[in-house]
Structure 1
Amino acid sequence: MYNCAIILAAGEGKRMKSSTPKVLHKVCGKEMVNIVIDTIKISGINDINVIIGRGADKVKDATINNNVSYSLQDKQLGTGHAVMCAKEFLKSKKGTVAIFTGDAPLITKNSVEKLIAFHNEENYKATILTSIVDNPDGYGRVVRESSQEVSRIVEHKDCNAEELKINEINAGMYCFDIESLLRSLDKLNNNNAQGEYYLPDIIGILKNEGLKVGAVPVEFEETMGVNSRVQLSEAEKVMRKRINLMHMENGVTLIDPDNTYIDLDVDICNDTIVYPGNIIQGNTVIKENCTLYANSRIEDSFIDKNVTIQCSTILKSKIGENTTVGPFAYIRPESVVGKSARIGDFVEIKKSVIGDETKVSHLTYIGDAEVGSKCNFGCGTVVVNYDGAKKCKTLVGNNVFIGCNTNLVSPVKVNDNTYIAAGSTITDEVPEGALAIARAKQVNKEGWVEKKGKKK
């Protein structure tokens, strides 16, 4: 059976009060529409059409790498009208089309598969995704026949006394036989107060033709739509709980899952321990046996095994195994720190390579540099990488000892097995095996304080 999908993503999202299209607001680090696309794809459907409207170019830019097609809904005239805009996508197809919404990111792979399998196996012309809720106020009710097929969908305001007691509600997601849907779209009208075309009206059209309509209930949280910042935070909370549960089931220790923030695409290996307050974002990979103490932020980075991180920020960088970072270190993008290294407190690394077993213990800045292995940076060392017009490079060899308060003025090279005396400003190459001293000789002027009248 051929299956395809449509995602409704053209809504204005006025309640979001944002210049960003609603479906591009992120839940756990990923745009809602991309979460829905990913879920549909892992469910086995690869032919996906996204209905775009407000902010169409932005939605295209955000989804372009997902290999989807697009249909434009230039005027928002209801969900039925949105599907009408996808007729070109559907016209030569036979099989099943599943319809989801780009602002409902909590739908799961299992529920998508369940909906499609039920629809196809039972040979329905339409199947509605529903939820059973304790308080159905405000939702359209799903009225079933004695056979458990769907009889109709009744909006809350139109329900009679018996229908108001029904607690199965329409979730706004569907499967349709493609040919039946196309015929029904031609019969859809906008004879209502809003002058819009509503997709649920298709159910009535199909029933009037004597065709079978089914319904599949799923958990209500999976069908939650996001129409405001409050609902966005609620979706974030649900998704974060799912993500954290998945990591714990995979062997990661989260000391306080309620205060640990991990994005959807993060990969954490077993026996890593994550303390509260950590924010782990993007495509970060954290290997085995790492310890992330409280309050670090790691984005799009690779952390090798047995790394310890304390209260630090690591962005778009790589940290080698058995290395320690922090507290209060700042690893900026395009940095690579080697194995068994030490990046200590208040150290900033920017676009640099730090070799294995090198120690940068405290209060040091290294920018645009390549540093070898088994080096030691004294407190207060600065790589002076900017000349006011351009960034310049510093090269430091292996087994280099750099004394406290040293300035390395780029471009400059410090060769292997060298020492730099504390307080030096290095502007010329340091030869291998040399001691570099670049500071003025100390001069003591006896009696200067009293002579100048400075004595207190």
Structure 2
Amino acid sequence: MLAVAVLAAGKGTRMKSDLPKVLQPLAGATLVERVLGSCRALDPQRQILIVGHQAERVEQSLSQHGGLEFVLQQPQNGTGHAVQQLLAPLADFEGELLVLNGDVPLLREETITALLERHRTSQAAVTLLTARLDDPTGYGRVFADASGHVSAIVEHRDCSEEQRANNLTNAGIYCFNWSKLAAVLPQLSTDNDQGELYLTDTVAMLSPAMHVEVADADEINGINDRYQLAQCEAVIQQRLRRHWMAEGVTFVDPESCTLSDGTRFGRDVVVEPQCHFRGETSVGSGCRIGPGSFLENASVGEEVEVLYSVVRDAVVADGCTIGPYAQLRPGTELARDCRIGNFVEIKKSQIAAGSKVNHLSYIGDAQLGENVNVGAGTITANYDGVNKHQTVIGAGSKTGANSVLVAPITLGANVTVGAGSTLTKDVPAGALALGRAKQLIKENWS
């Protein structure tokens, strides 16, 4: 059996944030969500979060993750003290305990799987993850022989100058035989520079102790401040872009674009510079996105072009063209071959196939039929100061430039609205609607 414990109790003082460190966002997910995701494939029987600072907030943020158990560490007195809190909840547990850190979010599933397999095949009491760093400052040093047997771990601040020359470092990721660990946890001492209970001290108490050296040292990057958060973001973004380029996506300037884990692309998509994808966004094959576009929780069909535009919580069908400088707000649904042009804003509206809103318009709370042509500067006045109302425009209708449709209002099919009109009443199919003030000319006015 396997239990996973994630250490998530720390304050994260150096983040200088009101948000707990483990809830800091990284490429669209919190640090602790990424840590939990890295061990999902192991299918553990128990998943425990050791919480402390703003414990209720951390628990609430993970309310959608089923099967999590929460254990309170109060006060926070080191990693050993944190794991001591598991003695009661795991009193009857027999199996392995995998200990992860809530602020080490770059671990790959295959790395954790390799750690667990090495632990089981070697029948070790403890197996830890290690990495060789060019600059190991701040990391505990691991002392091991050529066969991988670990003799000791010494924290950086407790190392002698000779010990600090060793660049094999402790990643803070462990797999324990739980029964053996539980027997030695009460023996931990605070006799060290920080006066805390170190989980690392258990390694010297357990035999055999083994280590697995990770090939990519970036995987063990921990986060203590905003700079390290930015470094980890860069690593994740590079991974995501490399993955999608291997799947047939072209990034013209990869470093200028950012993705979320939930971003999905079809083949032969071209992503121009300065494009950003957030949330659960999907982009179909043959699309061209950008430059300068932002998509969040967007569903984009095939052969769509988006130029210098924002698409959020919207659905765009095949063959549409958007922009430049358009905004599709939540609730927007475009059918095939629609054209949304420059400086157009669409909100909570359904626009049928072949319709065009080409210039300088606001379409809100509206339903447009097929092949509607919305003239430049057309506004659906959907808000009366208290409530929002709907505008319906029938198939084949046309609005002239600078038209205002005061909702609630319905225009039938094949209606023509004269330029400059303000309409407040329904218009039957096939009609011409005008709502202009009479033009006056006063000669010799100057």
Q: Which TM-score bucket, shorter chain as reference?
A: over 0.9
Q: Deviations over 1:144-166 (max 9, x none)?
A: 14643111112234445653332
- Once the two structures are TM-superposed, the CA of residue 195 in structure 1 deviates from its matched residue by 2.9
Q: What are the within-5 Å matches in structure 2 for residues 321-400 of structure 1?
A: 321-400=318-397
Q: 247, 252, 257: which is aligned to 2:254?
A: 257
Q: What are the within-5 Å matches in structure 2 for residues 41-440 of structure 1?
A: 41-45=40-44, 47-67=46-66, 68-145=68-145, 147-160=147-160, 162-206=162-206, 211-218=207-214, 219-440=216-437
Q: Corresponding residue for 1:446?
A: 443
Q: Do 1:49 and 1:89's aligned partners in 2 also have CA atoms closer than 8 Å?
A: no
DSSP 3-state at the match of 2:268: coil
- Once the two structures are TM-superposed, the CA of residue 94 in structure 1 deviates from its matched residue by 1.2
**Structure 2 gaps, min length 5:** none
Q: Deviations over 1:413-451 (max 9, x none)?
A: 11112111111111100001111111123233334x0xx
- Which has the larger displacement, 405-414 or 431-440? 431-440
Q: Do 1:6 and 1:97's aligned partners in 2 also have CA atoms closer than 8 Å?
A: yes
DSSP 3-state at the match of 1:130: strand
Q: Against the structure 1 CA distance between its residues 135 and 441, is the aligned structure 2 distance closer, same or farther, given a 3 Å change threshold?
A: closer
- Once the two structures are TM-superposed, the CA of residue 138 in structure 1 deviates from its matched residue by 3.4
CA distance in 1, matches of 2:80, 2:155: 16
DSSP 3-state at the match of 2:413: coil
CA distance in 2, matches of 1:160, 1:443: 94
DSSP 3-state at the match of 1:431: coil
Q: Corresponding residue for 1:452?
A: none
CA distance in 2, matches of 1:142, 1:31: 29
- Once the two structures are TM-superposed, the CA of residue 70 in structure 1 deviates from its matched residue by 1.0
CA distance in 2, matches of 1:192, 1:163: 16
CA distance in 1, matches of 2:369, 2:129: 60
Q: Do 1:284 and 1:301's aligned partners in 2 also have CA atoms closer than 8 Å?
A: yes
Q: Deviations over 1:112-159 (max 9, x none)?
A: 111111111111110010001233333221111464311111223444
Q: Corresponding residue for 2:14?
A: 15
- Once the two structures are TM-superposed, the CA of residue 371 in structure 1 deviates from its matched residue by 1.2
- Once the two structures are TM-superposed, the CA of residue 193 in structure 1 deviates from its matched residue by 4.2
Q: Do 1:40 and 1:46's aligned partners in 2 also have CA atoms closer than 8 Å?
A: no
- Once the two structures are TM-superposed, the CA of residue 289 in structure 1 deviates from its matched residue by 0.8
**Structure 1 gaps, min length 5:** 450-454
CA distance in 2, matches of 1:407, 1:24: 46
CA distance in 2, matches of 1:167, 1:15: 25
CA distance in 2, matches of 1:157, 1:57: 33
**Equivalent pairs: percent with the same residue?**
37
- Once the two structures are TM-superposed, the CA of residue 186 in structure 1 deviates from its matched residue by 2.0
CA distance in 1, matches of 2:387, 2:365: 11
Q: Against the structure 1 CA distance between its residues 349 and 147, is the aligned structure 2 distance closer, same or farther, given a 3 Å change threshold?
A: closer
Q: Do 2:393 and 2:412's aligned partners in 1 also have CA atoms closer than 8 Å?
A: yes
TM-score (norm 2): 0.96
**RMSD of aligned alpha carbons:** 1.4
Q: Against the structure 1 CA distance between its residues 441 and 53, is the aligned structure 2 distance closer, same or farther, given a 3 Å change threshold?
A: same
Q: Against the structure 1 CA distance between its residues 190 and 323, is the aligned structure 2 distance closer, same or farther, given a 3 Å change threshold?
A: same
- Once the two structures are TM-superposed, the CA of residue 293 in structure 1 deviates from its matched residue by 1.8
Matched letter for residue 327 of structure 1: P
Q: Do 2:339 and 2:358's aligned partners in 1 also have CA atoms closer than 8 Å?
A: yes
Matched letter for residue 74 of structure 1: Q
- Once the two structures are TM-superposed, the CA of residue 28 in structure 1 deviates from its matched residue by 1.0
Q: Deviations over 1:178-205 (max 9, x none)?
A: 1111112122232334332110011122
Q: Do 1:311 and 1:326's aligned partners in 2 also have CA atoms closer than 8 Å?
A: yes
CA distance in 2, matches of 1:348, 1:426: 20
Q: Corresponding residue for 1:32?
A: 31
- Which has the larger displacement, 18-27 or 86-95? 86-95
Q: Do 1:253 and 1:274's aligned partners in 2 also have CA atoms closer than 8 Å?
A: yes
Q: Do 1:71 and 1:85's aligned partners in 2 also have CA atoms closer than 8 Å?
A: yes
- Once the two structures are TM-superposed, the CA of residue 222 in structure 1 deviates from its matched residue by 0.5
CA distance in 2, matches of 1:160, 1:57: 41
Matched letter for residue 119 of structure 1: H
